[in-house]
Amino acid sequence: VCSVVDSAELCRNTHPD
């Protein structure tokens, strides 16, 4: 899952699901 440290866009890039 995404962490608060991860950017919203970067988060989607890693798991666009």
Residue 15 has pLDDT above 80, yes or no: no
Model-level pTM?
A: 0.11
Residue 9 pLDDT? 85
Residue 4 pLDDT? 82
Over residues 1-17, the mean pLDDT reads 79
Give the CA distances from residue 14 to residues 8, 9, 10, in Å, rounded to whole numbers and listed in that order. Answer: 10, 9, 6
Residue 16 pLDDT? 72
Residue 10 pLDDT? 86
Cα gap 11→17, rounded to integer Å = 10
Judged by DSSP in three states, 15 sits in: coil
Pinpoint the alpha helices (H) of 1-17.
Answer: 8-14
% residues pLDDT > 90 (the chain)? 0
Contacts of 10 (CB under 8 A, 6+ apart): none
Do residues 11 and 2 make contact, with C-beta atoms less than 8 angstroms apart?
yes
